[in-house]
Amino acid sequence: MEAPEQVYGVTPPMKTDLPTDAERRTTDALLEELKRQNTFESPADTAKREKVLESLRHICNAFVKHVAKTKEPKNDVLIRNAIGKVFTYGSYRLGVYGPGSDIDTLIVAPKYVLREDYFEHFPKLLVEMAPKGAITGLTVVTDAFVPIIKFEYSGISIDLIFSRIIQKQLSEDLTLQDSALLRGLDEVELRSLNGTRVTDEILALVPERSTFRKALRAIKLWAQRRAIYANIMGFPGGVAWAMLVARVCQLYPKAAASVVVNKFFLIISQWQWPHPVLLKRIESGPLPVRVWNPKIYKGDSFHLMPVITPAYPSMCATFNITRSSMTVIQRELERGFEITEKIVTGKRPWSDLFVKHTFFTSGYKYYISVIATSKTEDAHKIWSGYVESKVRMLVQKLEQHPSIALAHAFNKGYERRHKCRTSEEILQVQEGSMEFLAGPEAASESNGATDESRGNGAVKAEEPAKEQSDGGVAKDGTASATAKVDDQDKTAVKEETEDGGTSVTSPPQAMEIFTTTHYIGLELAKIFPHPKLASNLLYLSLSGADQQDAKSLDLSYQVDEFKTLCTSWQKYEEELKDVASIGVQHCRNFNLPDDVFEPGETKPQRKSAKNAPNGKKREATEQPATPTGEATAVLSRSGRLRHTGTHWDDYDDDDYDGRKLAARSTTCVGI
């Protein structure tokens, strides 16, 4: 009598048929496309990864011995048996890594090695024991949700986290499956161990690992190409996508990878959210720790697309998803299903599924850009990471506005370097200027480039400097460079001699300024309000006969709250205030910087004024007229957009009489 087949998941499978010949051929075609898309790593590169991990194991053991000698120098037995363990998690442990993938790595140490010891001693040992020059970009982040050391080892990106377990000595064959190992650990240590435990559970809960890995490679590539892969920006991360694919594998345990991919789009696009995705029943455990349960914890009931980790204590891997990102994900899932339905019937190739997103080329008319600026590279690593972690908060504030249907944050920021010689140039960079870019990209960007902060496309040279009050702060309350810096800039160019003349000195040396910019696409609600011109409104207008977007839009409150959230960070107040800033700008699609477009992509073009329905160009002093079917807006110096007909112009809050002012729009705070 045959033993019953194992049932995976919380429900019986939907289908257990073996693959047909046609399905196998479709899977072969999928694998060929994945290889063509360069998702597989060469054996030589894989061997290099293994060599790096072996080196980390050696350094890990030396680190634990070092701490043992420091704390108990006379305990020879402890020192002799002092070892640590290196575990991996994420894409590397799942077996779906590719060229350029990082290695998510965990160091586990005995109970006498504390987190403080790890951050104090390990970075030094890492640099000392690795081959000379092999460690680059070393960054220590102690106050993250999961404290981490980030670096590159021989060009391979490593994210290294730490936890101890309450054992005096570790065995060579230690695994992390036993939940009893979690006893006595704090929440940070539990989160650190969770990555490896979850990854191992996922692999144990899929019927066929080979099929799972092939399907997951396809879904990862699709999610990355469609820009919906980033937990920090409100989209599922790698582990969440892996759990979703694993659930489909459980429902079709014998299916070919091509079928799993097709059924993935069918099932997940029709999933009845917020019903959770579970790979197994949620377990209770030996610890008084929080386990995901919306009936007990109010916060869990607000999760929009809950995907629950299978390892104890179970957590929601998708708690970051917002209403807007959920809408974007749903659209992409429906698109994926439509395409794969035609692929499995031979009507379309697999390459159609992996076509790049259109976020910048045709996604939106209006964008908000969040610009993190720093004067030093070390400060920027810290500041830009913190701002990135808070962009999702701005998205949530924006989507609560009744006139915004969707606020879609792009899944990555754009890092740029600028060379500035004066405080005025630094201010322009803070406001989004591309004119002072350093490096090979500078030529293409600065040649006739327009400032991101100016919706009307005027060349920066035509604009006079922002008017400032005493103390170097702009009259609109925007923080700018200090008066002291201004004075230094002036004396660097011209000095008065004893006889009353002047002598010209060499210009000030260029200072490197670092920026990271995040873009949020805005989709306006289709509503029919009664527009009122008001000096304090972020104002948009659309007078087309067919449908109307939001007529008035004041985002100053949301922007101010977001800036306060960022600048009230204790580390900013204590260490970064003088070298870092945060700015929020509007941007029309035709004013997006060139570097967000890849070769072959068409940048949106501004409609010519001569095509306006009345055929009339508006003079600078003319009262703005609203063109039929054209929505335009502007962000004023206080952070507000203003309707100006076919142009984007800047108006002072106290002077909305149609006169064009020559001030740049900005909501910059800091340096």
Binding residues for ATP: 102-104, 159, 220, 229, 238-239
Distance (Å, whole) CA 106 – CA 195: 8
Contact between 388 and 232 under an 8 Å Cβ cutoff? The reply is yes
Write out the two tokens for 17. Answer: 């048929």
The candidate with the shortest Cα–Cα distance to 556, out of 477, 670, 470, is 477
Give the Cβ contact number of residue 67 at 10 Å: 23
Contact between 276 and 36 under an 8 Å Cβ cutoff? The reply is no
Instruction: Please give the annotated binding residues for Mg(2+), written as ranges.
Output: 102, 104, 159
Give the CA diameter of the chain: 111
Q: How long is the chain? A: 671
Candidates 45, 65, 71, 102; catalytic one: 102
Distance (Å, whole) CA 580 – CA 470: 21
Distance (Å, whole) CA 477 – CA 488: 23
Candidates 8, 55, 89, 104; catalytic one: 104
Distance (Å, whole) CA 245 – CA 249: 6
Candidates 85, 150, 214, 220; catalytic one: 220
DSSP letter, residue 361: I
- Measured over the CA atoms of residue 179, residue 181, residue 182 and residue 188, the dihedral's sign is negative
Candidates 55, 91, 403, 556; catalytic one: 91
Contact between 252 and 15 under an 8 Å Cβ cutoff? The reply is yes
Is 104 considered catalytic here?
yes
Distance (Å, whole) CA 24 – CA 27: 5
Write out the two tokens for 514. Answer: 């670092």
Contact between 398 and 555 under an 8 Å Cβ cutoff? The reply is yes
Is 159 considered catalytic here?
yes
Contact between 671 and 430 under an 8 Å Cβ cutoff? The reply is yes
Residues 6+ apart with CB under 8 A from 132: none
Distance (Å, whole) CA 666 – CA 671: 13
Rounded alpha-carbon distances, angstroms, from residue 202 to 211, 261, 266, 289, 465: 13, 17, 21, 22, 58
The candidate with the shortest Cα–Cα distance to 215, out of 186, 247, 189, 190, is 247
Contact between 283 and 314 under an 8 Å Cβ cutoff? The reply is yes
The candidate with the shortest Cα–Cα distance to 176, out of 54, 97, 87, is 87
Contact between 404 and 523 under an 8 Å Cβ cutoff? The reply is yes
The candidate with the shortest Cα–Cα distance to 493, out of 479, 482, 507, 480, is 507
Write out the two tokens for 71. Answer: 């704390």
Instruction: Please give the annotated binding residues, written as ranges.
Output: 102-104, 159, 220, 229, 238-239
Is 102 considered catalytic here?
yes
- Measured over the CA atoms of residue 425, residue 430, residue 435 and residue 439, the dihedral's sign is positive
Distance between terminal CA atoms of the chain?
77
Backbone angles phi, psi at 382, to 5 degrees: -75, -50
Contact between 424 and 431 under an 8 Å Cβ cutoff? The reply is no
The candidate with the shortest Cα–Cα distance to 417, out of 369, 355, 375, 360, is 375
Residue 77's region, left for phi above 0, alpha for psi from -120 to 50, else beta, is: alpha
Catalytic sites, residue numbers: 91, 102, 104, 159, 220, 229
